[in-house]
Structure 1
C-alpha cells in the first residue's frame, strides 16, 4: 500500500502542469458527487410521496409535510407581529420608561464630557448641562457620577455625589435642554471631644499623633497666635483641646474648636471660642490685637505704592514693589504697628538698615532704609514702640521709609489689607461667654 502511494505521488509530481490541473479538478468533482444529496423544494400544493423502502434508507432525514410547513410559517409571522413573544424589557427599562442607571467614579484627568461621551450620551445634552452648571467642570478624583436616560435615549437625570455630605441632582425640564438642580445635604451628629497630649518634637506633630487633624492643629495655632508661639513649645509641655465634631457614617466631616489649654514653663494659657467666632481668654479678654495702619505717628505722602509690576527707579527694570514708600524727613520715628518679636535688625546693601518683626505665625512687618536701629533681634516690642529712625540708607533715590506687611508668607498691600482687630464682648454676649467658659474649663483639666 505504501509503495503504491509512493508510486502515485512520484507519477503526479513528474506529470506536466496541465495534467496536474486536470487530475486535481477530477478529484474535487468526484468528492462532490460522493457527498452531495439533493434538496427538493416543493410548492404548497405538491405532496411528498416516499416509499417505505426509501424511508428506511433515508431514515435520518425528516421531510415535513404540507401542514407542518404552513404551521411553521404562521408561527414565524406571529413572532414578528406579537411583541409578547420577544425578549422582555424587565430589568432594562422601568415602568416610567427610564433606562437602568449607569455609574462612574471620577479618576485623574476625567471631565464631564469625556466621561459621558464614552457612554454615547448626546453631546448636545452634555454641553447644555455643563454651560448651565459650571461647577460640573470641576470634578474631583473619587467623586461619583450616575445617570439615567429617558425612553428616547437622552439624558434624563444626572446625580453628582460630591462627598458623603453633599449630592447634587440635575433633572431635565420636559423635552428641553434645560435642567433643574437639587442639592441634598446630609446632616451629621455633633459631639464634643477632648484631646490631650504632651509635646514631643513640635506641637503639630504631637497634636496629630494625639488625634487632631492638620487643619485642627492649625486652628489651635491661630487661636493662640497673639498669646504664644506654639513653635517654641518644649518637649514635656502639655496641651488639652476641646473640639466639637460632626460625625457622618462614623467619620468626622468637620469640626469646630471650642477651647484650648496650654501648660508651658509653669504658665497656663487658655483660649475659648465665642459665638462671634473670635477667641478670648477665660476672663473674656480678647486674644487678638489691633494693628496700626501706618508705622508713624503722622501720615506721610505715599511716594511709591504697592505694585507687583513697578518700574524700579534705580535699575529701570520692571520688578515687584512689595511694600509702600512714604516720603518723610530723615530721623522721623518709626513705630511697631503691633506687638511682636524682632527677628531681623541689621544692614543690607539693598534695604539699608532694616527691621523685621514677627507679630504672629501669620503676620510679619518690615521697615527699610532707616538711618538708625533702636531694637535688637529677639527683643519683644509693643504696638506703638519706637523701633528706628527713618533715613536714606541702602539703594534709594531719596529719603523715605519702605514698609511691608506679610500675611501667611505673602506680601499684601498694607494700606488696604484687612488688619487684625480687637472684638470686645459686652452685656449679654459677655455673660453667655463666661457661662460657657465655666461649663467647659473643667473639661480641659490635664490629668
Structure 2
C-alpha cells in the first residue's frame, strides 16, 4: 500500500481527478446560471409560463357524435399570442376569416365606404343584400358582409358544384377550398356557399318562399328567445347546455357536421316533406345521421356552445320559408305544450 502511494502514477491520477471534478462543477454552475437567466428573460418578455391575466386558458371540448364517437381533442394549454410567432419564427400571414357577419350601418356610412372598410367589392355588398347601385342605406340598417369579394349562393335541389362555378364564373377548386368541402359532391340542398370571385349572372331567379301553416312546426327546443331574426333567417334560443333539441316536424336528415365549421360548431340540417329546410347550430351532441328519417318530436341532439358562441343556445334557421319563431319577441319563453 505504501509503495503504491509513493508511486508517481498515484499522484498524477489524484491531480487529474481533482481537476476533472473542479471543471465539472464549474460547468454545471455556469449552465444553471444561464438557464436561470434565460427563464427569467422568457417570463419577462413573453409570459409563456408565468401566471398572467393576459393568458388564455383553453380547455378541450368534448365533441360527441351519435353517442359513440369522440372528436380528437388536446390537453390543457396556456397560450400567449406570441408563442407560435416567437418559437417558430413564422412569417406567414394570419388566416383569412371565412365567416359571414352582420354589420349595423352607422351615421355617415355609404355603400362604397362599407365595401372599402371590409375590403370587398361594391358589387359583392350589393348582391349579398339584394341592393342596387341606386339603393339608399340608413343608420341602424343591418347588412350582410362576406369575408371576400364574390357571391352568396343557396344550393337548390339538383345543383352540382361544377354548374354553380360555371354560372357564377368562378373556379371550382376555390369554391371547394373556401367552403371547406370534402370534395365537389359535398353539397346539399339548402347549403349556403360563398363563391369567391364569383359574378352574379344577368338573370338570377329568386326561390319563392314556401307557405307553411302555424301548426306545421313545433318548437325545436325549450328556452328563451335571446336574439331575433338574423343570419340566415335564424332565431336564437338560449337554455342550459345539454337541453333537448327535437325535430319540429317530420323529415330526412340531410347533413351532419362536427367541428368549428366557420363558427357554426356541430350542426345538422333536416329536409321536411314540404321542401322547407331547418338548420341547427352549436350542438354539443348529435343523435342522428345523414339520410335518417325523423318524426316530429324525435330527439336529434342536445344544445351546446360549439363554434362561435357567447353561451349555450340553439341557432335555429328556416330556409325556403318564413321562420315560424320570428313572430315572438326577444325574451319570450318557449315551452312545449304552450303556444
With normalisation by structure 1, the TM-score equals 0.24
Structure with the larger RCO, 1 or 2 (CA within 8 Å, 6+ apart): 2
Give 1 or 2 for the bigger CA radius of gyration.
1
